[in-house]
Amino acid sequence: MAYEWDFAFLWVLWPHLLVGLAGTAKLWAVALICGLGIGLVVGIFRTAPSRILRSIGTVYVEAIRNTPGLIQLIWFYYAIPMVTGWQASAWLAAVVSLSIYTGAYSAEIYRAGIASIERGQWEAARAIGFGFGAQMRYIVLPQALMRMIPAFGNRAIELAKATTLASTIAFGELLYTAKVIAEDQMRPLETYTAVTVIFTVILLPVSYGCVWFERRLARRGGVHRD
């Protein structure tokens, strides 16, 4: 017997999916901003003259990149209340965990971008009398940031995918909402297919945008690839 597809219930329940999608978007945006901020600091640590700063950066990046995101999320979910004494909150755990997760990966993008600037630029800046901070702020970062944009775009896509992890701690993002609907309506095939389509429709154009931008940079010369 062939399965009878029936998407009708989703026409009724789409406001719920929309709320879920809004949850995904909120989590994504906050974690992205925090993550890029953390990444900038750590990325500079990783290229700093100080050995201690470099080691701190390395330990952080290696620890996050070599453990599964799910374990990090669950760990923060239980650890944050323990340290702060607050009640366990799925939202807070998700934001903290995904920010730290994105921070580690974007630190590598900053580091590679900074490393891609030729020695001569640093030396010229030093010759003018700039210190490390000023060299970074006025000379190196402005040049490097442009080259990093495609990599940040990819990072943003990966973060959007990672937000679905929050469904495991019952944060009301898209996948969690879908799970609830699927069980409630006993229509997992349609519901999960819809979620797959929603993610593809959103992420695929962004992904193509990144590729397009990267090509454009490459044509103008001086693109950094990692």
User: Would you give the DSSP letter of residue 167?
Assistant: G
Residues 166-205 that bind other proteins (CB under 8 A): 167-168, 175, 178-179, 182, 188-189, 191-193, 195-196, 199-200, 203-204
Question: Measured from the CB of residue 127, what is the shortest distance to other proteins in angstroms?
Answer: 33
Counting contacts by CB under 8 A, is residue 79 touching other proteins? yes
Token pair, residue 154, equals 């990819």
Residue 50 to residue 25: CA distance in whole angstroms: 38
Contact at 8 Å (CB) between 27 and 89? Answer: no
- Look at the alpha carbons of 21, 22, 25, 26 in this order and tell me if their dihedral is positive or negative: negative
Question: Measured from the CB of residue 77, what is the shortest distance to other proteins in angstroms?
Answer: 8
Counting contacts by CB under 8 A, is residue 213 touching other proteins? no
Q: What are phi and psi of 48, to 5 degrees?
A: -70, 155
Counting contacts by CB under 8 A, is residue 120 touching other proteins? no
Question: Measured from the CB of residue 89, what is the shortest distance to other proteins in angstroms?
Answer: 15
Using the minimum distance from each CB to other proteins, give the nearer residue, 188 or 222: 188
Using the minimum distance from each CB to other proteins, give the nearer residue, 82 or 127: 82
Residue 110 to residue 105: CA distance in whole angstroms: 9
Contact at 8 Å (CB) between 113 and 224? Answer: yes
User: Would you give the DSSP letter of residue 88?
Assistant: P
Using the minimum distance from each CB to other proteins, give the nearer residue, 135 or 163: 163
Q: How many CB atoms lie within 10 A of CB 198?
A: 16
Counting contacts by CB under 8 A, is residue 4 touching other proteins? no
CA dihedral 193, 198, 202, 208 (to 10 degrees): 20
Counting contacts by CB under 8 A, is residue 216 touching other proteins? no
Region from 26-34, 113-121, 156-164, 215-223 binding other proteins, contact rule CB under 8 A: 156-164
Counting contacts by CB under 8 A, is residue 118 touching other proteins? no
Residue 179 identity: K
Given 3-state DSSP classes, what are the helix, strand and coil percentages for the chain, each rounded to the nearest 5?
85, 0, 15
Question: Measured from the CB of residue 167, what is the shortest distance to other proteins in angstroms?
Answer: 7
Counting contacts by CB under 8 A, is residue 161 touching other proteins? yes
Counting contacts by CB under 8 A, is residue 87 touching other proteins? no
Chain residues binding other proteins by CB under 8 A are 1, 3, 62-63, 65-72, 74-75, 78-79, 82-83, 85, 157, 160-161, 164-165, 167-168, 175, 178-179, 182, 188-189, 191-193, 195-196, 199-200, 203-204, 207
